[in-house]
Amino acid sequence: MVSARKFRWKRQLIALLLFGIAFGYVEAAVVTYLRPQFLAARSAKSSQSRELFPLLTLQQVKAAGPEMVKMTETEIIREAATLAMLGTVAAAAGTTVRQWLAFFLLEFGTWDVAFYASLKILIDWPRSMLTWDILFLIPVPWTGPVLAPVIVALTMIATGLIILRWESAGTAIGLPGIHWPGICAGAVLILAAFMWDYRNIMAGGMPNPFHWWLFAIGEVLWLGGVAVALLATPHPAKRSR
């Protein structure tokens, strides 16, 4: 068992939830502004001008002119800045690595769910939870049905809340043996499922069927690692007796 100093986290929790929701709306607003420009550049290359796929290839981006090249570069930098903002805000809220990780997971998950909820309100998109989306462009395009990132977001929120609950009672969740590598392996497999088809996507192809089996294995490893760690750690309520 690893001990941790008790800390009050509800104020930070509320602040980060509000930040995640607001930031998710801002992200959705940016996408709302960028989408017409992207579709306009797409219209001359594809009859499916109202869909995200196929993506413009690098050659098509260059052919569209310097403004499209600049917008693509700006979008990549914006994604990196988004991750930096989420990470630094979480670091400001937590005082240990475990708390930083918990706040980051919580904040990232809230931001992602708020992003899709805001898009649905603003432009009535996605049409369904199985609609395909471009998640990130760093280091290669991440793609998948909206349902997949939403599941990951909810998993991150749940994991963050569990860590914070134990930390607030002065009990750190220990990750001995294979627990931590198992959780990391699960995260890697989930990322692999999103990036599996990147060559085809970058070549201007339509998405191939999503590898739900790979995604499911990753989720099981992540959740299983967290569950085993919880079983090996005394519950805060029992510890306080």
Q: What is the DSSP secondary-structure string of 76-145?
A: HHHHHHHHHHHHHHHHHH-SSHHHHHHHHHHHHHHHHHHHHHHHHHHH---SSTT-EEEEE-SSS-EEEE
pLDDT at 95: 83
What's the pLDDT tens digit per position in 66-96?
A: 888 888 898 899 999 999 999 999 999 888 8
In the chain, domain spans: 2-239
Reported confidence tier of residue 2, pLDDT bands at 50, 70, 90: very low
Tell me the whole-structure pTM to 2 decimals. Answer: 0.88
